[in-house]
Amino acid sequence: MPRIEYSLLTTQLAKWSRCLTAIAMALAFVSAGCEAKQPADSTPKATERSVVRVAAASDLKFALGDVIAAFKKDAPTIHIEPTFGASGVLFEQLTNHAPFDVFLSADITYPRKLIEQQLAVADTEFLYAYGELVLWTSKFSGIDVEKLGIQAVTDPKVRKIAIANPKTAPYGRAAEAALKSLGVYDTIQDRLVEGGNIAETAQYVESGVADVGLIALSLAVAPAMRDKGVFWIVPADAFPRLEQGGVILSDAKDSAAAEKFRAFLISPAGRQILTNFGFNLPGA
Amino acid sequence: MDWNAAWLTCKLAGATTAVLFALGLPLAVWLSRTRWRGRFLIEAAVALPLVLPPTVLGFYFLQFAGPRGLIGQTFERLTGEMLPFSFFGILLASIICNIPFAVRPFETALSAVDPSLIEASWCLGVSRWKTFWSVTAPLAWPGIVTGLVLTFAHTVGEFGVVLMVGGNIRGVTRTLSITIYDDVQSMDYARANTTAVALLLFSFVVLGITYGLNQGRARAR
């Protein structure tokens, strides 16, 4: 009896293992095939769809969606593919030659460093906005940030204060500088929690894991947050100006398409969208 | 759910599983049969990704496979492509991460096969290759399938290394687990939840099948 069972099993499983090998090989083949096809797909031609990969600071998470939608009407063949992150993290990836075409940083010093390292095209540097910092809290927190201003962070109800990581996020550096210059930093230092980027920081306060947070105005006015909280705008002289700048990268696959997108962002139409999201504009 | 990311995730998990089947099985066979005294060192190295933080792997990957690293430069010279932020980059990283998930179940199952059956087959003049496929592998198959299933499932769930090495680029390195991270930061909780539920069910079904398979096998004995 065990012998019969064993021989049956053997033949069945020899089939099984052959089948598995075949599946494995097919999978390897398919994935190799997909890879091989990709470079051909992305070869730009005037009439063909081209893809512009944008590495964008997280404060643009919602504003850039509107910019992209408006740009699509102007240039339907150009497809914008955004990736969001802290400007410092994106900068680090770009120094390792991450395959992006345009970099929209929340701090213009990063694009400038890329130009120095010849990773970005020198004459494509542009200033697209000045960032605004706000102290945000949920409608239900019972903390009157509009009346208290920065003193709200010292409220006993506040257990956690969210800021972005100052090492990698320009808004985190701005928040730290503002807390220091407004004289509350030492009192509240042990209540600070750091988000990896400004969008994550905003999510901390939006979801209530932090009671208040210093976030970008462009996130606070976005539909995802607008009706959920109240905020106080941190005075511009409390922190070094957030000069948000961009650049086209040297490795850009289709620099003509990238240039079109850059031009749109600083055109009146692009500037209007940025204004809607609370950005201050250069030369305005 | 982001179907583009779902397809990419399947591609990554499928390719990782295929490679580890091809390379992990011979290694497991050797580990299960060798009497070499230094075997424990190889076994420790195989298990390393189980305890190593993904950041350690990501850090060294970027050091060695990045544009200034030896592996990265060699790869670029041969293919003209970069390893970090590419599909091959996350594939390579996920192969390394998954070595223990494939090799350990393979090895356990192969070690449990009675050597006298294998020797009997050899004595009957059957080649080693044929003996493996007609005697050893059929007896060890639940362990082999377990290893493949765990590898596939673990790759689907990989997050830290993929984000650090791959960087979150749509269609290239943005896997399902990364879309959840993205969606949460966009406060799109509904979409994050859809993907999370799908991954939760997938993981449970996969583990259910694996345990079911092993339990059925244990009873048959």
Residues 6+ positions from B32 with CB-CB distance below 8 Å: B107, B110, B111, B113
Q: Which residue is listed with tokens 């499983």?
A: A13
Residues B18-51 pLDDT 10s: 999 999 999 999 999 888 999 999 999 999 999 9
Gap between the Cα atoms of A180 and A183, Å rounded: 5
Reduced to 3 states, what is the DSSP secondary structure of residue A10?
Answer: helix
Q: Which segments within chain B are labelled E, that is strand? A: none
Tell me which H or E stretch contains B76: helix B70-79
φ, ψ (nearest 5 deg) of residue A52: -115, 115
Residues 6+ positions from A221 with CB-CB distance below 8 Å: A276, A277, A278
Question: In CATH, which superfamily holds the domain spanning A50-130+242-276?
Answer: Periplasmic binding protein-like II (3.40.190.10)
- Judged by a CB distance cut-off of 8 A, whether residue B144 touches chain A is yes
Interface test with B, best of A34, A93, A102, A215 (most B CBs within 10 A): A93
Q: Which of B17, B82, B187 has the CB atom closest to A203's CB atom?
A: B187
Nearest residue in A to B169, CA atom: A83
Gap between the Cα atoms of B96 and B115, Å rounded: 30
pLDDT band at A30 (very low <50, low <70, confident <90, very high): very low
Q: Which of B18, B84, B170 has the CB atom closest to A96's CB atom?
A: B84
Question: In CATH, which superfamily holds the domain spanning A132-238?
Answer: Periplasmic binding protein-like II (3.40.190.10)
Provide the pLDDT for residue A18: 57
Q: What's the one-letter identity of residue B87? A: F
Reduced to 3 states, what is the DSSP secondary structure of residue B159?
Answer: coil
Residues B103-131 pLDDT 10s: 999 999 999 999 999 999 999 999 989 99
Provide the pLDDT for residue A3: 44
Contact A206 B187 (CB under 8 A): yes
- For the ranges A251-255, A263-267, B16-20, B166-170, which has the lowest average pLDDT? B166-170
Neighbours of B82 (CB within 10 A): 20
pLDDT band at B170 (very low <50, low <70, confident <90, very high): confident
pLDDT band at A20 (very low <50, low <70, confident <90, very high): low
Domains and CATH numbers, chain B: 3-215 (1.10.3720.10)
Whether the Cβ atoms of residue A114 and residue A94 lie closer than 8 Å to each other: yes
Interface test with B, best of A8, A10, A13 (most B CBs within 10 A): A13
Gap between the Cα atoms of B164 and B144, Å rounded: 30
Contact A14 B134 (CB under 8 A): yes
Strand ranges across the sheet with A133-138: A192-195, A161-164, A212-216, A133-138, A229-233
Please tell me the pTM assigned to this model.
Answer: 0.81
Average pLDDT over residues A257-276: 96
Residues on chain A touching B18 (C-beta within 8 angstroms): 24-25, 27-28
Nearest of A112, A144, A134, A137 to residue A59 by alpha carbon: A134
Matching fold, domains A50-130+242-276 and A132-238: yes
- Judged by a CB distance cut-off of 8 A, whether residue B39 touches chain A is no
Whether the Cβ atoms of residue A236 and residue A168 lie closer than 8 Å to each other: no
DSSP string, A74-131: H-TTEEEEEEEE-HHHHHHHHHTT-S-SEEE-SSTHHHHHHHHTTSB-GGG-EEEEEE
Average pLDDT over residues A238-257: 95
Domain boundaries, chain A: 50-130+242-276, 132-238
pLDDT at A221 > cutoff 70: yes
